[in-house]
Amino acid sequence: MDDKLRLVKNHFGIMININEPLLHPVTSSNLMATWTTVFGVDITLRLLKRNQIMEQYIFDPILLKVLLIILVLSSSNNRKNCDNTDIDEVCDDSLSIYAAQNIYVELLWRYILSCSSSEREAVKFLNKLMMFILYAQNLDLYIDTYINSLRDEVKKMESMMQTMWPNTDDEENNMNVSVAPYIIL
């Protein structure tokens, strides 16, 4: 259970970056106004580009579900403000996580092959998909950095939401309450 919590916490940004366009396939003016108010123009433009790229994958829920599973089982810790980047240090049963991820990577490849006219087309498709993932991960890190710059705002959030952002060393030294290690990295 601890590993499951760690994996979701370490990869929730990329999960949001893939799921949000599914929830809002057409970016409404209200959503754009909210993004602009919360994040500013630069991040809003990046989010719009993400949605534009995502449009080509949005109608294939099998692809996106398998992709999300693979990303959540990823060995890296995408939260750049966390010290632990090695899955062996972050998770208790890393070999099981690697084994599960390998199964889903194989499923993804076979699925892409079955939907493609040739192996060459499958490779091209996978290449485009990987470029999208890298863009989404980069956007996730950019948003994470932005939110971390708003430490006072994070402190006003519910405690469950606060645990999604790592505390700085100064904040940990000032804490009077002991917290389980998997909640705050």
Per-residue pLDDT tens digits for 33-47: 988 998 999 999 998
Whole-angstrom distance, CA of residue 79 vs CA of residue 13: 9
Q: What percent of the chain has pLDDT over 70?
A: 74
Burial classification of residue 33, based on how many CB atoms lie within 10 Å of its CB (0-12 exposed, 13-18 middle, 19 or more buried): exposed
Residue with the larger pLDDT of the pair 140 and 82: 140
CB distance 37 to 98 below 8 Å: no
Model confidence, pTM:
0.70
- pLDDT, mean of residues 127-132: 92
Helix-helix angle 119-148:41-54, to 10 degrees: 160
**Which two three-digit tokens encode residue 81?**
């403000």
- In the chain, what are the domain boundaries? 2-164
